[in-house]
Amino acid sequence: DVKVTQSSRYLVKRTGEKVFLECVQDMDHENMFWYRQDPGLGLRLIYFSYDVKMKEKGDIPEGYSVSREKKERFSLILESASTNQTSMYLCASSLDRGAQPQHFGDGTRLSIL
Amino acid sequence: QKEVEQNSGPLSVPEGAIASLNCTYSDRGSQSFFWYRQYSGKSPELIMFIYSNGDKEDGRFTAQLNKASQYVSLLIRDSQPSDSATYLCAVTHYGGSQGNLIFGKGTKLSVKP
């Protein structure tokens, strides 16, 4: 079974802090994704990566950056956290961007105070 | 703009009935179709995927795809209270510069004992 592990289930940070969310997958997948999920807005893609050191902007990249130094690890960085970034953050990985499904981690519920 | 539309619900069915969940998509080039189940506060979990027109069955679940009409549906037979969750439809256009999944906002299903 695919295992996608997110470093924290719950996280509370303060406005202006730099926040790191970590994601690790154990299936040697090429593709990794970061989403946020908010009530009424569904899943929105923040960034994705299809190879080590490669990254592409998704639909809502503003205020975020990512890092992929190793194939199994994809990090999401909130450069200066703001209250409107309070959300559920979901990491996913897939073998093939188009034909294969994405497998999700358990999610991180992030609160910015 | 590629879109995936789902009725938000809630869809309420009695225990033992068939639940029918529908999804329409706008991109005629879409090739792969996925259904995810998401319990409240949890991450999406893959239930089924379908690539070809017609029906695909897996236990109590049947996915139906009609590319000409651009819809995909999920039938749940013998619905159980444990099936109560939000069901997300995801569609991918395999090709071009993206090829990522586009998620609908989900249909909330409630199965009454």
Q: Using one digit for the tens of pLDDT, what is the confidence trace for A58-71?
A: 989 999 999 999 99
Q: DSSP strand E in chain B: where?
A: 4-6, 11-14, 19-25, 30-38, 45-50, 54-58, 61-66, 71-76, 85-93, 101-103, 107-112
Residue B107's DSSP bridge partners are B87
For A31-63, the DSSP string reads EEEEEEEETTTEEEEEEEESSTT--EE-S--TT
The answer to whether B37 and B44 are in contact (CB under 8 A) is yes
Q: Find chain A residues with C-beta within 8 A of B88's C-beta.
A: 42-43
Check residue B97 and give its pLDDT. Answer: 47
Please give the helix or strand (H or E) that residue A12 lies within, else none.
strand A10-13
Which residues make Cβ contacts (< 8 Å) with residue A95, sequence separation at least 6? A27, A29, A30, A31
**Above pLDDT 70, what percent of chain B?**
93
Confidence class for position B13, pLDDT limits 50, 70, 90: very high
Cβ proximity of A7 and A23 under 8 Å? yes
Cβ atoms A81, A18 nearer than 8 A: yes
Q: pLDDT tens digit string along B34-71?
A: 999 999 999 999 999 999 999 999 999 999 999 999 99
Residue for token pair 């069915």: B13
pLDDT of A41 above 70: yes
pLDDT beyond 80 at A1: no
Chain B residues at the A interface, defined by Cβ less than 8 Å, are 31-32, 34, 42-46, 49, 51, 88, 90, 92-95, 99-101, 103-106
Residue B95 has pLDDT above 80, yes or no: no
**Residue A113, pLDDT score:** 97
Q: Which of B13, B90, B14 is nearest to B47 (CA)?
A: B90
Give me the pLDDT at residue B10, please.
94
* Rounded CA separation B12/B59 (Å): 21
Contacts with A39 from chain B: Cβ below 8 Å: none
Task: Report whether pLDDT(A89) > 70.
Answer: yes
Q: Residue B47's closest CA among B109, B3, B98?
A: B109
Beta bridge pairs of residue A4: A25
Closest residue in chain A to residue B4, using alpha carbons only:
A42
Task: Round the average pLDDT of chain B to a whole number and report it.
Answer: 92
- Whether pLDDT at B1 is above 80: no
Would you state the structure tokens that stand for residue A6, as one six-digit string?
């997110």
- Report percent pLDDT > 70 for chain A: 100
For residues A95-103, average pLDDT: 84
> Strands A10-13, A19-25: parallel, antiparallel or unpaired by DSSP?
unpaired
At B67-84, the pLDDT tens digits run 999 999 999 999 999 999
